[in-house]
Amino acid sequence: MPTDIEVKKLDDFRWLLPKKGKMRTEGLVYADERMMAVIRKDASLEQVANVACLPGIVGRSLAMPDIHWGYGFPIGGVAAFDMEDGIVSPGGVGYDINCGVRLLRSGLDAGEIRDQIPALVEALFKNIPSGVGSRRKDLRLSAHEMDSVLVKGAGWAVSQGYGSKEDLEHIEEQGCIAGGNPEYVSQRARTRGKDQLGTLGSGNHFVEVGYVETVYDEAAAEALSLHEGQVTVLVHTGSRGLGHQVCDDYIKALLKASAKYKIDLPDKQLCCAPLASKESRHYLSAMACAANFAFCNRQLITHWVRETLQDVLQTGPRGLGLQLVYDICHNIAKVETHNVEGKARKLCVHRKGATRAFPPHSPFLPDEYKEVGQPVLIPGDMGRYSYVLVGTETALRETFGSTCHGAGRVMSRRQAQKVARGRAIVRELEDKGIYVRGAGKGTIMEEIPEAYKDVADVVNIVHQAGIGKKVVRLRPMGVIKG
């Protein structure tokens, strides 16, 4: 429902939610006039204000321009909490723990493969299971192997021959969130995830073959080894049923914890536990396991993407040159040290539908990116474009090193199906030069471009607000959807 919550315009791209009622701090939304009109159509601004009521929040309750209504936190919400007085909330991470994106660059030019896109998409669709409940039949994990995945993340996949050490160096946290303990992951979660490694899942998850259409920053693009016309692959997926079940399990546990610790919640969906508590430690450990499952999932999909392209294009690894640019998390809570009012403080930073965006010279970046900043991957809808940005000092200073994560939905899946009814969506996309294959007609209808904000509008706000800097735009040629 529309919200009439008060907002004050600070500048062309920043809007303040004044501290009112039980809010412990202000809210800050990144948007322009036109985007704010869209944001006001749902209750996400109220969710920004609700997050500002949580104990131990440090700085403002933040929202990116792709904000929309979510469970507890808005999707596109960022908030940091003090390790002694603050909390952790599953609603600030989401159900798809470490839903994230990775970008692969190739040694190929778009013109070389355009005629082979239909065959390539069909082969990718065959080799990477997609859709609700999709499973692999050729990868069976023992209980011990599953434990290793939950603890080691992408490192497990590389140790089994699915990639290289160089891949790990180009993944956020090197593909492994520390502190994962499988003891805190339920048997139900394990059962849901045991056959889902190397699968895409449903909804807005995808594998996309595209190319670099536009270069905005030559120096940054060169540092990322990206150039105009170059073939790229984007992979967008997360922790599948395992992560969903971890979230579900701990929402129940932390609802009890909220009552136990007498935390006054403005919304039960913000159930939480003090960071110093046993319940919080258990959730963060299980969340790390789910995040590591997701890192491993994207690493395995990358392996099958490489094999598929080599087979269809009849070229070897050297000719294909499919290298990992970067892999980032969207839905995660991480313990990080940030400068707050001139002092270094250890905080638990929740990024839900938001991306880490660390600036140049961050110690957490691969050497070749140190001068330009962390790659930030912003996927759009399947009919338009996606963006690569880099992180900035402004983001580190204002948003705990965070920025947007995508376009942001403006239609529910049911609304999108209604709008798409009677249309030949696949043919419409083919007319634009984009070959699409989905797990079902319903999936394609739910993911029509009109269901999302134009990601160019989102990225332009981020760029002009200074919490991300545009590097290149990618144009899709072929997509497989979950």
Residue 425 lies inside a defined structural domain of this protein: yes
- DSSP secondary structure of 395-431: HHHHHSSEE--S--BSS-HHHHHHHHTT--HHHHHHH
Say whether pLDDT at 3 is over 70. no
Residue 413 lies inside a defined structural domain of this protein: yes
pLDDT band with cut points at 50, 70 and 90 for residue 203 = confident
| Domain that residue 208 falls in | 8-481
Residue 1 lies inside a defined structural domain of this protein: no
Report the range of poorest mean pLDDT among 17-31, 135-149, 335-349: 135-149
Burial status of residue 68 (CB atoms within 10 A of its CB: 0-12, 13-18, 19 or more): buried
Write out pLDDT tens, residues 115-130.
999 999 999 999 998 7
Say whether pLDDT at 346 is over 80. yes
Say whether pLDDT at 133 is over 70. no
Say whether pLDDT at 2 is over 90. no
**Rounded average pLDDT over 367-384:** 95
Instruction: Tell me which residue of 183, 192, 191, 194 sits closest to 286, measured CA to CA.
Output: 183
pLDDT band with cut points at 50, 70 and 90 for residue 395 = very high
Provide the annotated active-site residues. Answer: 405
By three-state DSSP, how is residue 43 classified? coil
Write out pLDDT tens, residues 139-184.
888 999 999 999 999 999 999 999 999 999 999 999 999 999 999 9
Residue 448 lies inside a defined structural domain of this protein: yes
DSSP H or E segment with residue 437 = strand 435-438
Are 295 and 175 in contact by the 8 Å Cβ rule? The answer is yes
469-481 and 435-438 as β-strands: parallel, antiparallel, unpaired? parallel
Burial 357-376 (b: 16+ CB within 10 A, else e): bbbbebeebeeebeebbbbb
- pLDDT score at 447: 86
Residue 2 lies inside a defined structural domain of this protein: no
How many residues belong to the chain?
482
Say whether pLDDT at 284 is over 70. yes
Give percent of the chain with pLDDT exceeding 70. 98
Residue 467 lies inside a defined structural domain of this protein: yes
Say whether pLDDT at 359 is over 50. yes
Residue 120 lies inside a defined structural domain of this protein: yes
Q: How many domains does the chain contain in total?
A: 1
**Rounded average pLDDT over 372-387:** 95
Residue 3 lies inside a defined structural domain of this protein: no
Say whether pLDDT at 1 is over 50. no
What is the residue-averaged pLDDT of the chain? Answer: 95
Say whether pLDDT at 19 is over 90. yes
Say whether pLDDT at 135 is over 80. no
**Rounded average pLDDT over 195-208:** 89
The CATH number covering residue 404 comes to: 3.90.1860.10
Write out pLDDT tens, residues 215-240.
999 999 999 999 999 999 999 999 99
Tokens coding 435:
């070959």
